[in-house]
Amino acid sequence: MNNELNIPKHIGIIVDGNGRWATERGLPRSMGHKVGAENLKKICLYLDELGVKYLSVYVFSTENFKRDNKEVDFLMDLFVKMFKTEFDEIIKRGIKVVFSGRRDRLRKEVLGAMDYLEEATSKNKGSCLNICLNYGGQSEIVDMTKKVCQMYKDGEITLDDIDVDFVSKNLYQDLPPVDFLIRTSGELRLSNFLLYQASYAELYFPKTYFPDFKEEDVLKAIEEFNKRERRFGGNK
């Protein structure tokens, strides 16, 4: 059945609603993150099965450091545990994991777990999972600007080298544009996710909280994507 569907090449997911999912069940927010993380792993594997070549997931924004220390610490510990012990199937499946975001402010255990996962999957030839952690779209554009200015200063490039593709290649990861952007939990905003890459993405905002966002919801989302008419500024 899926053969009939046009599968987006690059999907972005803003994993949202973990806290509300837990609160509505009388549970601590941390439980929402735990169940959300387990679900995220399943969704990554499912999208790989469907043939999605690039998947970007937003798991921690630069702004999420504003949260209580307790919640931030829980999330960081959860990332370490997930990357070190829960990603075996992702590694075996041949998925290549990369990270987008700033490394500053992250504890060395977190950086170690990220490096481990990148290294363990660096030779994988399958789909690409881009984990956006301590990521902000504005910071990414700032960091790209500094990098490109340095290249110019060092005489490696001229002003004419700088165009849309060049900028894209000099972001945290050199990935194709986002075709389909999903944000769970019903919030209608981007919250600083892939601002450059999502210029022509189709947007989809299901009301479901992320821990309840299952394979059948993913399929429904892709069916919705198939109904969209993409124009890229053209007239048909």
> Angle 113-178-235 (CA atoms, 0-180°, nearest 5)?
175
Is position 60 an interface residue for ligand IPE (rule: CB under 6 A)?
Answer: yes
Helix axes 108-120, 69-81, angle to 10 degrees: 30
- Contact present, 207 and 39 (Cβ < 8 Å): no
- Say which entry of ligand IPE, Mg ion, none residue 58 contacts (CB below 5 to 8 A, set by partner kind): ligand IPE
Applying CB under 6 A, the span of 10-18, 44-52, 109-117, 174-182 interacting with ligand IPE comes to 10-18
Is position 213 an interface residue for Mg ion (rule: CB under 5 A)?
Answer: no
CA distances from 71 to 39, 67, 82, 172, 217 (A): 19, 7, 16, 26, 28
Closer CB to ligand IPE, residue 20 or residue 41?
20
Closer CB to ligand IPE, residue 213 or residue 225?
213
Q: Which residues ranging from 4 to 33 are in contact with Mg ion (CB under 5 A)?
A: 16
Helices of type H across the chain: 18-23, 29-50, 69-81, 88-92, 108-120, 137-153, 164-169, 215-227
Is position 173 an interface residue for ligand IPE (rule: CB under 6 A)?
Answer: no
Instruction: Write down the least CB distance from residue 17 to ligand IPE, Å.
Output: 4
Task: Decide if 124 is catalytic.
Answer: no
Closer CB to ligand IPE, residue 16 or residue 202?
16
User: For residues 216 and 229, what is the distance between their CA atoms, to the nearest angstrom?
Assistant: 23
Task: Decide if 77 is catalytic.
Answer: no
User: For residues 58 and 134, what is the distance between their CA atoms, to the nearest angstrom?
Assistant: 9
Residues that bind ligand IPE (CB under 6 A): 14-20, 58-61, 64, 75, 185, 187, 189, 191
Residues that bind Mg ion (CB under 5 A): 16
* Residues noted as catalytic: 16, 64
